[in-house]
Chains A and B, each alone.
Chain A
């Protein structure tokens, strides 16, 4: 299995809702990432987990809360989002050692109303 899966594919939520994005990989990778991508722009790093521990938080607002329950799963919990948070949210994973290539999932298209 050489893919990263993400659910849901699309999500529409109001500013008072609580929702979660899910990411899963079964490649034995020990680093997992969350990115945010706006249209026609490169991905922006949000969080990095290494060996299930949060190692990088790129000063992301607290309305985004990551969680890594085990080495295969990565969640992003969303609460009280703003319309400007609407974007494509990408998950990625890589082998231990960040010099290795990252494998990206298909993304969740999030719309905040």
Chain B
């Protein structure tokens, strides 16, 4: 079945550090890929998405590239801020036997210190 694997957390960084959160997936066909962010006490917000191989999603300084050859969608940001502290979820939609269902990774907790 479909699955998403995210790097183990929590991740702790100093402000202005470079961020990478690894995400790899297993799915049949050509899934759509998403990064969602959840700030404390809130729901999930879509951060960025990519729908086909080599697409790059970007938003608020975050980027991720859909790499079909390595089945990866790693999230990067060049300079994190304290306000980026949140839980980040990688997710995919593959359809087929998972029709209508998003498959989420386990989430990565990011804490950024001043």
Contact = CB atoms under 8 A, between A and B. Distances in A.
Contact of A101 (B49, B95, B99, B107): B49
Interface in A66-113: 90, 92, 98-99, 101-107
B46 interface: yes
A83 to B, nearest CB: 21
Contact of A98 (B51, B100, B107): B100
20 contacts: A4-B43, A31-B100, A40-B87, A40-B109, A41-B107, A42-B105, A42-B107, A43-B44, A43-B104, A48-B101, A56-B100, A99-B32, A101-B34, A101-B46, A102-B46, A103-B46, A104-B44, A106-B42, A106-B43, A107-B42
A21 B15 CA distance: 39
Contacts of B93: 98-99
Contacts of A27: none
Interface residues of B, number: 23
Nearest to A58: B101
Say what secondary structure dominates the interface of chain B.
strand
Given A42-B104, A99-B51, 19 more contacts: A41-B106, A41-B107, A42-B89, A42-B105, A43-B104, A48-B100, A48-B101, A98-B100, A98-B101, A101-B32, A101-B34, A102-B46, A102-B102, A104-B36, A104-B44, A104-B45, A105-B43, A107-B42, A107-B43
A65 interface: no
A106 B101 CA distance: 20
B43 A40 contact: no
Residue in B32, B45, B102, B109 with the greatest tally of chain A CB atoms within 10 Å: B102
Interface residues of A, number: 23
